Structure 1
Amino acid sequence: MESCQPNGGLKHYPLTPLRFLRGLACLIVYLSTAFMCLVYFTPPFAVFLRLFSIHYSRKVSSYFFGMWLALWPFLFEKINKTKVIFSGEIVPEKERVLLIANHRTEVDWMYLWDLALRKGCINCIKYVLKSSLMKLPIFGWAFHVFEFISVERKWEVDESIMRKMLATFTDTSDPLWLAVFPEGTDFTEQKSINGQRFAVDNGLPVFKNVLLPKTRGFHACVEILRGSIDAVYDITIAYKNRCPTFTDNVFGVEPSEVHLHVRRISLDEIPSSESECHTWLLNTFKLKDQLLSDFISQGHFPNQGTEGELSTIRCLVNCITVIAMTLVFTYLTLFSSVWFKVYVAMSCAYLGFATAYNFRPVPVFGDFKSVSRKKSD
C-alpha cells in the first residue's frame, strides 16, 4: 500500500457521466458563488470599511470568506464521500497558529480546510503561495483580498514582501491560521532524486517521502509571529490510493482517503537563531519522512480518529445560504437596475487592478481600534 502514487495507480471511483455532471455543477456553483461574493462584498467590506479599520474589515470579510470556503469540505466529505481521517494530537479550537505541512500534491492545501472548519478557524486561514497563482481568474482576486502572501521562491526578492505582510498579522485580536509548505514545491520522484543527491553532497539527511525543507521563510514567520501566535501545528498528509489532482477532487474520483497527522508544537520548542531553526526543521521533516514510511507499510498514522464527522445539517444550511445570496446577486446584476451592472463592472476593475499591483487601502484617519485603545489608556 502506498501513500501516494503520482504517476500511476487505479482511481478509486470511475469517472461516470453522473459523476462528471455532478462535479461540473459543483465547479460552476463554486466559481459563480466566489465571483458574486467577491464583487459584491469587496467594495463595502474590503475597501470602504478598511479605510477606517483594518481589524473590522478583516473580521467582516473573513466571515463571508469562511462561509464560501466551507463549501469545499462539504464537497469532499459529504458529496464525494472522501474519508478525511485525523490522527495525532487533538488541538484546541480557535487558536492563532502557524501551520507547516508536507507537500505531496497540488491540492494538499485544500484539505487543511477540513481541519480548520472543525476548529472554527476556516475563515482565518491564509497561505504562503507562489505568485503565479495570483494570476488565476477569480481565485487570484480572492487570494489578494484575503491577504495570502505571494512569493517568487527567491529569498532576495521575497524577504521584504514576507516581512512586510507578516508584520500586519501580529494583532492578537485578529484570528490567524497561516499555512506554510517549507518544501516550496510539491513532491515528485525526480525532485526527490535531485534532493537526495544534494543531501548526500552536503551532509544532510536523505529523505524518501519528503523534500528537503527551506528554512528562511519559515524562520521569518516564527521570528515575527512568535509573540502573537499560540503554537505551531505540524501536519503530515498522506493519501490512498494515489495523489489527487484538482480535477480528481472536483469530480470525486480521488482520493478515497486523506490522512492528516497533527502535532501541536509550543513556540518555546523552536529555536530563535536561523541556524538552529534550520536543524530543528530538518529534524521535523525527518519525523515526517518516518511517519510516511510507516503509513505506507501500515496504511494509517498512529492514534487515528481524533476528530469527528462534519455536521451534514450545518454544511447544508451554509451551502443553501451561500447559493441563495449568489442567486440574489445574480438577479440584481442581470435583471435589475443598470447601476448594479455598473457596480459589478467597477468592482471587477478594482479587483483586477488591486491584485495586479498588490494594492490594499490603509485607514485614512488611523484604525478605529487603535484609536479607541489609545483613548482607553
Structure 2
Amino acid sequence: MLTLRIILLSLLIASSTVLHVMPLFAVALIKALLPSKRLRLACNTLLTGIAESWIAVNSRLWDRYTRTPVTVREEATLVRDGHYLVLANHQSWVDIVVLQKVFNRRIPFMRFFLKSQLFWVPLLGLAWWALDFPFMSRHTPKQIAKRPELAGRDIEATRRACEKFREIPVSIMNFVEGTRFTAAKHAKQGEPYRHLLKPKSGGVAFVLDAMGEGLDAILDVTIAYPGGSPTLLDLLADRIPEVRVRVRQREIPEHILRGDYQNDRAFRAQFQQWMNGLWQEKDADMAALLAGGKDDRATQAST
C-alpha cells in the first residue's frame, strides 16, 4: 500500500511538472527572440504565473495526501511586488518545498543560486533556466589555486543575475550554510551553534553589494523538523509528523551596504560578525521551535 501511494504521488508530481515545464520553455524561447525589452519583461510575468501555478499544485498535493502540518510564526509584512533576500537554514530537500508552500503568491517568486551541474537535470534544468535561476560553477579551492581567474567568475555571475533581478519583483533565496546540516558536519565544525552549521557570508555579501538599496528587506527563515530531518521520500510516504517555521523580517543595516567584502579585510570581518549575530539568534529560534509549546501567533500554512 505504501509503495502504491509513493508511485501514485510521484506520477502526479511528474505529470504536473511536464504540464508546467513545457509552456515555461515555450514562453522562455519566445522571450529570447523578442526585440523589445518591454515585451521581454511582460513575458516574465507570464513565466512567474506558470511557476506559481506549478508550486500551488504541489502544495495542494501536500495538503491532500499527507497529514503533515506546517506551523508558521510570522513576524513580517509581506508584499508580492517587493525585492527580498530570503535567508534560511538547510537540512533537507524538503526545505525547498516548505519555503514554496509558505511563501507562494505571498512574496515575489523565489529564485535560487544553483550549481551549474543542475542545469542537466531532466525537465527541471530547463525550468530553472527559463525562470532565470542563476547557475554557479562553485570552483574548489584547489581549482582556484591552479587557475586564480576562476575566483571571480561566480562573483560576476552573481552581478549579472542581480542586474536582471533589479527590473522585476524577486525574492533571492540563499541557504547560508552552503550545505545541508548533518550531525557529522556539525561535529566537525564544533561550536558555536547547537542546531546550525556556520554561516558562509560571501554569497550574502555579493547579493547585497550587487542589489544595493534595491532590496526592501531580509526575510530570515528558520525551519525545524521536530521528528528529525526528513527526506523527500518521507514526505511522499507521509512520515513527517510536523514542520515548524519562524519568519522574521529584518531591515538591512546601512553600514552593511557600504563596504567592499572582497577587498576590504576589516569590512569583511565586520560583515561576518553581523552574520554570526543573525545566526546566534537563529540557533535560539531553532531550539525554541524544536522544544515546541503553544504560540498564539503561529498559524497553519495554506496553499
TM-score range normalised by the length of the shorter chain: 0.7 to 0.9
Kindly provide the CA deviation profile for residues 329-348 of structure 1, in whole angstroms up to 9, marking residues without a partner as x.
xxxxxxxxxxxxxxxxxxxx
Distance 1:292 1:41 in 2: 37
Change (3 A) 1:232 1:271: same
Among residues 68, 87, 96, which one is paired with 1:109 in the alignment? 96
**SS state at 1:232 partner:** strand
Normalising to structure 1: TM-score of the pair? 0.68
Aligned counterpart for 1:282 among listed residues 253, 273, 276: 276
Deviations 1:337-369 (A, max 9, x none): xxxxxxxxxxxxxxxxxxxxxxxxxxxxxxxxx
1:99–1:180 Cα contact (<8 Å) kept: yes
- SS at structure 1 position matched to 2:221: strand
What are the ranges of 5 or more consecutive residues in structure 2 without an aligned counterpart? 140-149, 262-267
| 8 Å Cα contact 1:104/1:243 also seen in 2 | yes
The aligned counterpart of 1:310 is: 302
Decide whether aligned partners of structure 1 residues 183 and 120 sit closer, same or farther in structure 2, where only a CA change above 3 A counts: closer
Residue number in structure 1 paired with 2:264 = none
Q: Kindly tell me: are residues 236 and 217 of structure 1, through their superposed partners in 2, closer, same or farther at Cα, counting changes over 3 Å?
A: same
Separation of aligned partners in 2, 1:23 and 1:282: 40
Deviation string 1:38-66 (CA, Å, 9 cap, x unpaired) is 224422x2121342333112111111111
Secondary structure of residue in 1 paired with 2:10: helix
1:232 equivalent to 2:218? Answer yes
Letter in 2 for 1:310: S
Question: In 2 relative to 1, CA 120–143 (structure 1 residues): closer, same or farther, beyond 3 Å?
Answer: same
Instruction: Name which structure has the greater RCO, CA cutoff 8 Å, separation 6+.
Output: 1
Q: Give the match for residue 217 of structure 1.
A: 203
Aligned position for 2:13:
30
What amino acid does structure 2 have at the position aligned with 1:112?
Answer: L
Give the match for residue 373 of structure 1. none
**Aligned partner of 2:62: which letter?**
F
Percent identity, aligned pairs only? 22
- Whether contact under 8 Å (2:24, 2:127) holds in the other structure is no
**Secondary structure in structure 1 of the residue aligned to 2:256:** coil
Q: Which runs of 5+ in 1 are unaligned?
A: 1-16, 197-204, 312-377
Name the SS for the 1:209 alignment partner: coil
- Counterpart among 235, 240, 244 of residue 230 in structure 2: 244
**Structure-1 separation of matches of 2:187 and 2:138:** 20
- 1:39 equivalent in structure 2: 22
- Give the paired residue count: 278
Name which one, 1 or 2, has greater alpha-carbon Rg. Answer: 1
* Counterpart pick for 1:299 among 272, 292, 296: 292
Letter in 2 for 1:260: V
Distance 1:270 1:89 in 2: 24
Distance 1:217 1:291, change over 3 A: same
Describe the SS at the equivalent of 2:86.
Answer: strand
